[in-house]
Amino acid sequence: MLLNQGQAAPAAGDNLVSDTTTQTFMQDVVEESRKRPVLVDFWAPWCGPCKTLSPVIEKVIRAAKGKVKLVKMNIDEHPAVAQQLGIQSIPTVYAFVNGQPVDGFMGALPESQVAAFVERLAGKIEGGVGDILKEADALLMAGDAAGAAELYAQVLAEESDNVHALGGLARSHVEGGNLAAAQQTLSLVPKGKENDPAVATARAALELAERAASVGDLADLEAKVATNAADHQARFDLAVALNAKGMREQALDHLLEIIRRQRNWNEDAARKQLLQFFEAWGPADEMTVEGRRRLSSLLFS
């Protein structure tokens, strides 16, 4: 294996860090993640931040002593998987568990944040705050924003800088329609942790909710699209409004229809909006997985 600058050489007999290809991705990542969590580091030789992140993430993975594996994918040589996942910038790291992407982050995070991410993935946080956060996440996913908010607030009463709880509380406020409270909650995120996945998801959800408030009445937009199927702006605004109402599949359908009809409309606005949907929904959300699959099929068919 040829090593690029910034890549640490694996120790003899070390199987915690390896490279993968498009052909071996299923075995190296999907199947392996059924045994233990797998991080996939999407990188390229020309990427400066990739060279910064590489030795950091490898150090953290080896410190975890086998609880998590790192697989590296050079997107210059093997672009298909990154394209399918909608990755637009590198370094991007995805965490796979039981064959599915469940979390991730972008950029060359400092070692402390990478270590916290891997620790959370490895399941070291057991009981106490960890259990409360799991219950809060489940409530939020089930649509009980008020119940989730109470639990996130309970965690923050003990750990005011808990980024998972701050992101979750902000999302709860968004789901409850209290956008000002969501913005206030995000302002409490500690400096340097703005790119934490929980925060990025909440920020994307807030931006979408704010945009939905300005696109107009849902019925009017539906009427415009019914009258003129080629009115891409009305269809785009309708997708944003539908997403705000929790109608994710219908929102997904409309954006994909724009791409099908005129892929590069408004400087690729429909595809970019889809990627923001995926960020707001989270990498493990059922509609994110389905949406990425359908988008890839449309773009690369």
Catalytic center residues: 47, 50
DSSP 69-126: EEEEEETTT--HHHHHTT--SSSEEEEEETTEEEEEEES---HHHHHHHHHHHTT---
Q: How far apart are the first and last CA of the chain?
A: 32
Strands of 38-43's sheet, edge to edge? Answer: 17-19, 69-74, 38-43, 92-97, 100-106
Give me the residues paired with residue 95 across strands: 39, 103
Letter for the amino acid at 169? L
Cβ-proximal residues to 286 (8 Å cutoff; 6+ apart), any chain: none
CA distances to 126, 170, 184, 265 from 158, in Å:
16, 17, 19, 48
What is the Cα–Cα distance from 96 to 20, expressed in whole angstroms?
A: 14
